[in-house]
């Protein structure tokens, strides 16, 4: 201060120098040492070298140097908000999950919406799937429904996920495109992956360019199980139905919005919540038993298939309201860790091979992304119910168990002995093993075209025209004619008219259709549940 008082002329930051007071706290280092000057490094002579001794400088720069963590390997760009889930009525006949036992019960929630392929800085209105990840902080642990805005997925087995994502994200040599489906690698992979064709129809539909996060449906995609207190298990599919309705933009609108405001979707969510126009979704359940599963035309373990709402109606059991933006984007939205493996008593998995793989992948990636095994200590990830375990140590351990015992069984009594198991805790449904160990796909997963067609014929003519235009636009970006031909070959099994329109649009001859792994079902009726306009 002496120096500054004497030489105001050369203190560039002199008049902007801000001091504590007026209710503003005193600035300190991370160690709590009060800071007299954060604007000038310590020098040997005002024009001399900066001194290694300057711990204030070193701490500030060191911390800045380490601000970045890896972005998510997929779903890197996202936006989150807090809210609550409210149960309409007790579902105790279906599930023992604590959050569904009492009508009117409110469970805190955190939701993160995302695009899949683009990096963290990409534009919001890319043609892409949207993530719809919900963390429910129940009184019996955190339950994550890590879903998308499209009810099916590209692949049937998680072992293909790295290939799918490599093909969808930027090409390794040229590093583009960053946020769109329109390129050779993506369409090459799609054309070689007939199981993806149903999902291709969805991402070429208006669903892939939502007006905002508030106007999207969400889906758990896989078949899960609900288990009641008697141990009776039923299958369930999860749906989030937007109270705002279902709305999309057209491709030219999306392109314009991306140019004018690439943050359009996150701004929309922020503003809606800040202005009190709270977005709301209803949780829908499609519940069915073994008898339905056995007679259904498709395998309920196949994540490339839906269960039509005509066959199993959606029962609305509660509502999700988003009512609070985050205090800090990084602390909450960036560090939140969703995981399909986070389930609670009353919920269970099925053997969907995509779900089984996801149950390995999320913890594994978060270990790297969040720098160690203790990310459950972060407030956004920590349960909001009491929790006690013997996990300890590791990087950034902020909540080591207290007391003497850190192992079980132990013979210490009272508080010294620490937590004990509870036989009424989580139980897996004792499902019988279905067969020998094989590296195979079930025959029941082999029909790739019927539901793709069902989806297409369910769309209104306007929506169908959008799909044809999207296919023409996307495939027109593909340089290699054989990739286009292979893709259109699959389209012929979906709908000959659509395939013809796409050929016309691309100025190409109708290609051969591939031999299907299984003949499509010819007379599958359209599904009302699949049209945006009817739903919206």
Residues assigned a catalytic role: 75, 148
- Binding to ligand HEM (CB under 6 A): which residues in 290-329? 303
DSSP string, 2-32: HHHHH-GGG-TTGGG---SBTTBPPPB-TT-
Chain centroid to CA 276? 25
* Binding of residue 118 to ligand HEM (CB under 6 A): no
The 55-74 site mask, x for binding ligand HEM (CB under 6 A), equals -----------------xxx
Interface pick for ligand HEM out of 365, 410, 444, 535 (rule CB under 6 A): 365
| Least Å from the CB of residue 301 to ligand HEM | 12
Interface pick for ligand HEM out of 112, 234, 486, 492 (rule CB under 6 A): 112
CB-CB neighbours of 305 under 10 Å: 26
Interface pick for ligand HEM out of 354, 494, 506, 530 (rule CB under 6 A): 354
* Binding of residue 361 to ligand HEM (CB under 6 A): yes
Q: Is 356 helix (H, G, I), strand (E, B) or coil?
A: helix
* Residue number, 147 or 262, with CB nearest to ligand HEM: 147
CA–CA gap between residue 376 and residue 471 (Å, rounded)? 43
* Binding of residue 161 to ligand HEM (CB under 6 A): yes
* Binding of residue 78 to ligand HEM (CB under 6 A): yes
* Binding of residue 284 to ligand HEM (CB under 6 A): no
* Binding of residue 207 to ligand HEM (CB under 6 A): no
* Binding of residue 77 to ligand HEM (CB under 6 A): no
List of residues 6+ apart from 49 with CB closer than 8 A: 43
Residue nearest to ligand HEM (CB): 131
| 312, 284 contact by CB (below 8 A) | no
* Residue number, 136 or 354, with CB nearest to ligand HEM: 354
Nearest alpha carbon to residue 202 among 451, 535, 404: 451
Which pairing describes strands 347-348 and 280-288: parallel, antiparallel, or unpaired? unpaired
- Binding to ligand HEM (CB under 6 A): which residues in 209-268? 221
Q: Is 354 helix (H, G, I), strand (E, B) or coil?
A: helix
CA–CA gap between residue 335 and residue 269 (Å, rounded)? 19
CA–CA gap between residue 365 and residue 373 (Å, rounded)? 11
Interface pick for ligand HEM out of 91, 97, 133, 494 (rule CB under 6 A): 133
| 113, 81 contact by CB (below 8 A) | no
Interface pick for ligand HEM out of 369, 377, 384, 441 (rule CB under 6 A): 369
Instruction: Point out which span in 53-61, 334-342, 416-424, 528-536 binds ligand HEM (CB under 6 A).
Output: 334-342
- HEC profile of 118-183: CCCCCCCCCCCCEEEEEEEEECCEEEEEEEECCCCCCCCCHHHHHHHHHHHCCCCCCCCCCCCCCC
List alpha helices for 204-301, DSSP H: 251-260, 264-274, 290-295
Interface pick for ligand HEM out of 11, 40, 75, 325 (rule CB under 6 A): 75
| Least Å from the CB of residue 14 to ligand HEM | 45
Size of the site for ligand HEM (CB under 6 A): 28
* Binding of residue 338 to ligand HEM (CB under 6 A): yes
* Binding of residue 366 to ligand HEM (CB under 6 A): yes
407 is in an annotated binding site: no
Q: Which residues are annotated as a binding site for heme?
A: 72, 112, 161, 358, 362, 369
Residues lying near ligand HEM in the complex (CB under 6 A): 72-75, 78, 112, 114, 131, 133, 146-148, 153, 158, 161, 221, 303, 336-338, 354, 357-358, 361-362, 365-366, 369
């Amino acid at each position: 201060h002496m120096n500054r008082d004497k030489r105001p002329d050369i203190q560039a930051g002199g008049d902007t120098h801000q001091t504590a007071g007026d209710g503003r706290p005193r600035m300190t280092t991370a160690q709590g040492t009060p800071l007299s000057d954060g604007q000038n490094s310590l020098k040997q002579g005002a024009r001399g070298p900066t001194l290694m001794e300057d711990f204030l400088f070193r701490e500030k720069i060191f911390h800045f140097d380490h601000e970045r963590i890896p972005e998510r390997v997929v779903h890197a760009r996202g936006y989150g908000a807090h809210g609550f889930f409210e149960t309409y009525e007790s579902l105790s006949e279906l599930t023992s999950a604590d959050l569904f036992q009492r009508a009117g019960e409110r469970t805190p929630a955190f939701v993160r919406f995302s695009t899949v392929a683009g990096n963290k800085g990409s534009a919001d209105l890319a043609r892409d799937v949207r993530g719809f990840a919900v963390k429910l902080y129940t009184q019996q642990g955190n339950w994550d429904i890590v879903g998308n805005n499209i009810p099916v997925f590209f692949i049937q087995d998680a072992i293909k996920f790295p290939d799918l994502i490599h093909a969808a994200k930027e090409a390794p040599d040229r590093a583009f495109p960053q946020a769109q489906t329109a390129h050779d690698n993506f369409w090459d992979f799609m054309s070689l992956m007939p199981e993806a064709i149903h999902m291709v129809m969805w991402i070429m539909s208006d669903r892939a360019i939502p007006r905002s996060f508030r106007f999207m449906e969400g889906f758990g995609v896989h078949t899960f199980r609900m288990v009641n207190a008697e141990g009776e298990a039923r299958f369930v599919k999860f749906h989030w139905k937007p109270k705002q309705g279902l709305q999309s933009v057209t491709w030219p609108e999306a392109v314009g919005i991306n140019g004018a405001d690439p943050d359009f979707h996150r701004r929309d969510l922020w503003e809606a919540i800040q202005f009190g126009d709270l977005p709301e979704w209803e949780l829908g359940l499609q519940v069915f038993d073994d008898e339905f599963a056995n007679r259904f035309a498709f395998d309920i373990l196949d994540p490339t298939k839906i269960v039509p709402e005509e066959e199993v109606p959606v029962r609305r059991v509660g509502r999700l309201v988003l009512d609070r933006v985050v205090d800090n984007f990084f602390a909450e939205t960036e560090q939140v860790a969703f995981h399909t493996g986070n389930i609670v008593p009353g919920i269970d998995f099925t053997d969907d091979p995509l779900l089984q793989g996801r149950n390995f992948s999320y913890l594994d990636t978060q270990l790297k992304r969040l720098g160690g095994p203790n990310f459950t200590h972060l407030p956004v990830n920590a349960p909001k119910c009491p929790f006690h375990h013997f996990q300890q140590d590791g990087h950034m351990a902020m909540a080591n168990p207290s007391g003497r015992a850190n192992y079980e069984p132990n013979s210490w009594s009272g508080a010294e002995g620490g937590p004990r198991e509870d036989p009424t805790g989580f139980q897996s449904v004792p499902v019988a093993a279905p067969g020998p160990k094989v590296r195979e796909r079930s025959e029941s997963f082999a029909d790739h075209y019927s539901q793709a067609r069902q989806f297409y014929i369910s769309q209104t003519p306007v929506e169908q025209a959008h799909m044809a235009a999207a296919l023409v636009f996307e495939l027109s970006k593909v340089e290699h004619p054989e990739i286009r031909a292979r893709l259109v070959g699959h389209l012929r099994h979906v709908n000959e008219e659509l395939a013809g329109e796409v050929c016309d649009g691309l100025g190409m001859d109708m290609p051969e259709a591939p031999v299907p792994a299984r003949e499509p079902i010819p007379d599958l009726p359209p599904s009302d549940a699949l049209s945006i306009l009817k739903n919206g």
